[in-house]
Amino acid sequence: MNLTCQKDLLLQYINIVNKAVSNKTTLPILECILLTANDNGFVLTGNDLELGIQTAAIPATILEKGEVALEARILGDIVRRVNGETMSIKVDDKNMVTLTCGSSEFTIMGQSGDEFPALPTVEQENAFVLPQNDLRDMIRQTIFSIAQDNSKPILTGELFELQQDTLHVVSVDGYRISFRKNILSQCAEPTNVIVPGKTLMELNKILSQEDENVSLYVTDKHILFDLGTATMVSRLIGGDFIRYAQSFTEEYKTKIILDKNEFVQTLERASLVSRDNRKSPVRFHIKENQLLVTAKSDMGTAYEEIVCEVEGDDLEIAFNPRYYIEALRSIEDEKVAIQFLASLSPATILPVDGDAYKYLILPLRM
């Protein structure tokens, strides 16, 4: 292999594929990035066997085709620190790689590209399409409520319900449910898949905030995200997701509408006292046009009053405040509605108008 390319552009793409490079593995090849120069151009690939990322062709002058696997950490460190504008990459027949940029020259040992695991094949025929910034927001607004342990592997991922013209993204951790809905600009055959949380967290780091689209392609075992600048392929989590929809109900005995930011700030202040949120929950006392928020622990007490719209019965109920804070921070509306059934029944956070989101939170015993 022998080629030259812009250093800054190369670093940009290295940072993208690094998301799929394994840090903890017994296979040294998985700690590498595969550099390939062929008739399709110059591309980089990372693959930890669960998640794989391949860049689009990087603008480069290819003098000789070939491929080599280089340790991602040393490659990234070198490209990040050299001063020149143009990077030259030469590989000999023993996989010795010479990197030249500005006044710097490094020679490091690579590995044969033949040893690098190929990405799974996903046919890119029938796509689900939506703006990248919309998918980015949906992940950000739900990822915090995936399960953090592997006792129930299905809950460590998010359910993607790809419908006729809408995408539902759902996460559940046993204490709460986060639901987001968005319109698809292009649809394929409806399907439901469970995408690992790790995949979505890494995907969210490289999704654009602009109006560019992302295309989703699904097989029985894998999902592919085509971002234009790169494609990400991830395994899916097998099994049946919980029937979350039956947990939501339109019935309520108490409903409040209040200012979201004021509520978040109130809960954050109450949390200063209620540091152990399970043993010392924050209590809500709802009565006419008022929400009283109190907390009590060995450290002391907190008391706050919020003026709000109240419909229905008075109610006292207790919650882990972190669950409310995380859900409310993900909501962009100025006001939210919260519906309650009873002191030991889940509460649901809803938009005042529309149905773009739903957050269900289990209460704690007082």
Split at pLDDT 50, 70, 90, the class of 277 is low
Residue 307 lies in a domain: yes
CA distances from 120 to 8, 17, 33, 345 (A): 29, 16, 16, 44
Residues 262 and 343 in one domain: yes
Question: What is the C-alpha radius of gyration for the chain, rounded to an integer number of angstroms?
Answer: 25
The tokens describing 27, both together, are 């296979």
Do 201 and 273 reside in the same domain of the chain?
A: no
Amino acid 317: pLDDT: 97
- Give the separation between CA 237 and CA 240, rounded to whole angstroms: 9
Answer whether residue 275 shows pLDDT above 90: no
Task: Indicate if 8 and 89 belong to the same structural domain.
Answer: yes
Instruction: Give residue 278's pLDDT.
Output: 60
Q: Over the chain, what is the mean pLDDT?
A: 95
Query: Going by DSSP bridges, is the β-strand pair 104-109/60-64 parallel, antiparallel, or unpaired?
Result: unpaired
pLDDT at res. 211: 83
**Predicted pLDDT at 365:** 87
Q: Which of 199, 230, 245 is the last residue of a domain?
A: 245
Number of residues in the chain? 366
Extract the tokens encoding 316.
């006292």
Same domain, 21 and 87: yes
- How many other C-beta atoms can be found within 10 angstroms of the C-beta atom of residue 210? 8
Per the structure, how many domains does the chain have? 3
pLDDT digits (tens, 9 = 90+) for 50-62: 999 999 999 999 9
Instruction: Check residue 201 and report its DSSP letter.
Output: H
Q: Is residue 122 part of a domain?
A: no
241, 132: one domain: yes
Based on the fold, state whether residues 261 and 340 are members of the same structural domain: yes
Is 121 part of any domain? no
Same domain flag for 138 and 193:
yes
* 220-254: pLDDT as tens digits: 999 999 999 999 999 999 999 999 999 999 999 99
Whether 238 and 260 share a structural domain:
no
Q: For the chain, where are the alpha helices, taking DSSP H only?
A: 7-17, 72-81, 132-140, 197-206, 260-271, 321-329
pLDDT of residue 26: 81
Q: Is the confidence at residue 276, as pLDDT, over 70?
A: no
Range of the domain at 205: 128-245
User: What DSSP assignment string belongs to 4-66?
Assistant: EEEHHHHHHHHHHHGGG--SS-S-GGGGEEEEEEETTEEEEEEE-SSEEEEEPPBPEEEEE-E
Q: Is 144 helix (H, G, I), strand (E, B) or coil?
A: helix
**pLDDT tens-digit series, residues 284-333:** 999 999 999 999 888 889 999 999 999 999 999 999 999 999 999 999 99
- Domain termination site, one of 93, 115, 137: 115
Residue 257, pLDDT above cutoff 90: yes
> Is residue 336 included in any domain, yes or no?
yes
**Is residue 203 a contact partner of residue 232, using CB atoms and an 8 Å limit?**
yes
As a whole-number percent, the residues of the chain with pLDDT over 90 amount to: 90
- Average pLDDT score over residue span 193-209: 95
Partner residues linked to 311 by β-bridges: 255
pTM of the model: 0.93
The two structure tokens encoding residue 57: 């062709």
Which among 250, 245, 195 is positioned nearest to 217, based on CA atoms?
195
| pLDDT digits 0-9 by tens, 323-349 | 999 999 999 999 999 999 999 999 999
Confidence category of residue 31, pLDDT binned at 50, 70, 90: very high
CATH number, domain of 101, equals 3.10.150.10
Instruction: Quick: pLDDT tens for 108-164.
Output: 999 999 999 999 999 998 999 999 999 999 999 999 999 998 889 999 999 999 998
**Per-residue confidence (pLDDT) for residue 366, from 0 to 100:** 74
Residues 285 and 337 in one domain: yes
Q: Show the CA angle centred on residue 300, arms to residues 294 and 304, nearest 5°.
A: 25
Domain boundary residue among 115, 147, 177?
Answer: 115
Does one domain contain both 221 and 252?
Answer: no
